Amino acid sequence: MKSHSRGHAEPPRQRVNFPVHPIETHDVELDVPEGLEVKTPDQTTIEVSGIDKQAVGQFAAEVRRWRKPEPYKGKGIKYRGEYIFRKEGKKK
């Protein structure tokens, strides 16, 4: 922790740590901006909440950037209620 000239320590920042892919060897760690709260009620859900709607959307977009939904299997990080247009695979 950094200390200011008066000797006060900065409060610890909240970090969110989540696996990008089951095969990956490292997890992604992101600093949660002030005013936002991140909860993980279960293994497949990340809830971002806060007063500033723009900041909530920006942080959710940063989380989603690591694993966008793909159209063939529908895997990835999706917003609640989002419909992923599914594509058909190769035809023989």
Q: Does a structural domain hold residue 59? A: yes
Q: Does a structural domain hold residue 20? A: yes
Q: Does a structural domain hold residue 2? A: no
Q: Does a structural domain hold residue 4? A: no
Q: Where are the alpha helices (DSSP H) in the chain?
A: 53-65
What mean pLDDT is predicted for residues 2-9?
A: 55
Residue 26 buriedness (CB in 10 A; 0-12 / 13-18 / 19+): exposed
Q: Does a structural domain hold residue 42? A: yes
Owning domain of residue 16: 10-92
Residue 38 buriedness (CB in 10 A; 0-12 / 13-18 / 19+): buried
The DSSP element (H or E) to which 89 belongs, if any, is: none
The number of distinct structural domains making up the chain is 1
10-65 confidence digits (pLDDT tens): 566 677 666 655 555 667 777 888 888 888 888 778 888 999 999 999 988 888 88
Give the CATH number for residue 54: 3.90.930.12
Q: Of the spans 1-5, 48-52, 75-79, 87-91, which averages the highest pLDDT?
A: 48-52
Q: Does a structural domain hold residue 3? A: no
Question: CB under 8 Å to 26, separation ≥6 — which residues?
Answer: 20
